[in-house]
Structure 1
């Protein structure tokens, strides 16, 4: 049976698409249609579960009382943030859900800010948290990043480097922002070794070589920042 990938796949099917006939992955040439169908079904099951969970979470947020405990409010806010990342990776277009998450978080944080109105230190921390949340969401809007940071990411630890070498320039640029200088150093060394091994097998992979240079440049920038600090 020939393999046909979805137009808007979920994280599991997308990772199989990333690996398909890709010499950077040891099992890239052994994938079959049944594996793709199974991955697609798992993604659809997760999507349906997510939609039910999100519906219930929205109801919780709507029913929040003005005198609700801060721990309860912040727990809902944290779960909404997790929903943003998850829906970025799930199959289909979920821009409406992302907009709904942002609106609900804004309402929740307005209530939290009102409670901290007389505490400039607390307000400063809230500003920092909001900046971090916005950055996190911008990164998650890149679907490859969403795939990486999912709690149950289909990208295994030993598949991170070949995945980075397989993605587009923009996707890798965004993804590399997840890592510090030490992590980038490890990634670069593993990527260089992998491409050297692949070259010995007779594969050149010019685009992967470009991603390696991109990782090297990100490492140099991160190292210089550490030195300056």
Structure 2
């Protein structure tokens, strides 16, 4: 029987669906599913994409109508919205490279205006440089789908699923995500992971290796 195929570039709902497939570490694993179950999460991702694209078009329209002497507050509000949309784009289905590039370029244009207005104010220039570096770092972290999933305002990852996610998501997704947690949070998480593995009696070498890596990463 031919089943519905998984997406080549899944969105956050389908990604989490896939994470839970036959994964006993999750408190609510998916051990069997129908085509309709998969279609449901794919549909949610597609609807989220359509809403995003409409919102992005509106933002681009606002940017196009900015006056040369626009108030700083208006400019900064638009920049903030663009940053949120970049963050959201990183978790969406399909290839969002073009949209992300367009958003980043718009932010650069806006920041160039802000920097011109701050010319000669050494403190303001320093703050803008620090903000630019922080944004670059943040956007780099968002290349991990896990980071995008965790930072989404309505994250699909429940608190009691986090240990399972960190133990089983690809290492190159998890490594950037660790930057979201401080030392104490990481310690508590690895304690939870140890308890989770012990509760299932899992002696899997790969899992234990991942746990040891998580204890020392950072």
TM-score, with structure 2 as normaliser: 0.94
Count residues with an aligned counterpart. Answer: 216
The 1-side partners of 2:198 and 2:93 are apart by: 35
Aligned residue in 1 for 2:52: 50
SS of alignment partner, residue 203 of structure 2: coil
Output one character per residue of 1:9-50: Cα deviation in whole Å (capped at 9) or x when no partner: 110011010110011113224452233221111110000000
Aligned residue in 1 for 2:24: 23
Structure 1 stretches lacking a partner, 5+ long: 222-229
The 2-side partners of 1:143 and 1:174 are apart by: 10
Let me know the Cα RMSD of the aligned residues: 1.5
Output one character per residue of 1:134-187: Cα deviation in whole Å (capped at 9) or x when no partner: 011000011121111111111112111111111112111111111111211111
1:185 to 184, 187, 194: 187
Aligned residue in 1 for 2:209: 210
The 1-side partners of 2:85 and 2:165 are apart by: 24
* Contact kept in structure 2, 1:10 and 1:90, CA below 8 Å: yes
SS of alignment partner, residue 155 of structure 2: coil
Which structure features the higher share of helix residues? 1
* Contact kept in structure 2, 1:15 and 1:155, CA below 8 Å: yes
Moved more, 15-24 or 154-163: 154-163
Aligned residue in 2 for 1:161: 163
Aligned residue in 1 for 2:13: 12
The 2-side partners of 1:3 and 1:182 are apart by: 42
SS of alignment partner, residue 192 of structure 1: helix
Aligned residue in 2 for 1:35: 37
The 2-side partners of 1:151 and 1:94 are apart by: 19
